[in-house]
Amino acid sequence: MLHEFWANAIYSVVPTILVGLIFWLAMRAIVRADRTERKVYADIEAEERAKLGLPPAAEHSGAAGVNRDGAEHLVPAVERPVPPAEFSAKSPAK
C-alpha cells in the first residue's frame, strides 16, 4: 500500500515538473534569441553609422533621457510625412 502511495505521488508530480522544464527552456531560448538579435542589430547599426561618418549612437541605460555616464540627451521625435492635399482634414461634400 505504501509503495502504491509513493508511485502515485511521483506520477502526479512528474508531468508538472516536465511542463515547467519545457516552459523554462522555451523562455530561456526566447530571451537569448532576443539578446543576440539586439546585439547583432547594434553591431550592424554601428557599422552603418561608421560608413556614413556619423558619431556612435548613445548607449541607453534603460532610463529615458539619461546616458550610462549620467549625461542627459534628447530623443529625436519621429518625422511624419505631410499628407498630400487630396487627403486634407476637410470632410468631403455629401
Is this prediction's pTM over 0.75? no
Q: How many folded domains does the chain comprise?
A: 1
Structural domain for 41, as ranges: 15-56
Residue at 39 is within a domain: yes
Span 27-50, average pLDDT: 94
Q: Is residue 50 part of a domain?
A: yes
**pLDDT classification of 10: cutoffs 50, 70, 90:** very high
Q: How confident is the model at residue 71 (pLDDT cuts 50, 70, 90)?
A: low
> For residue 13, what is the enclosing H or E element?
helix 2-52
13: Cα within 13 Å, side-chain hemisphere: 6
Residue 20 lies in a domain: yes
User: Looking at per-residue confidence, does 54 or 32 come out higher?
Assistant: 32
- Give pLDDT, residue 54: 86
* Residue at 47 is within a domain: yes
Residue 46: inside a domain: yes
Among 41-45, 47-51, 89-93, the least confident range = 89-93
Distance CA 21, CA 9 (A): 18
Residue 40 lies in a domain: yes
Q: Is residue 64 part of a domain?
A: no
Mean pLDDT over 55-84 rounds to 60
Whether residue 80 is contained in a domain is answered as no
* 48 within 8 A of 56, measured Cβ to Cβ: no
d(C-alpha 3, C-alpha 9), whole Å: 10
Average per-residue pLDDT in the chain?
79
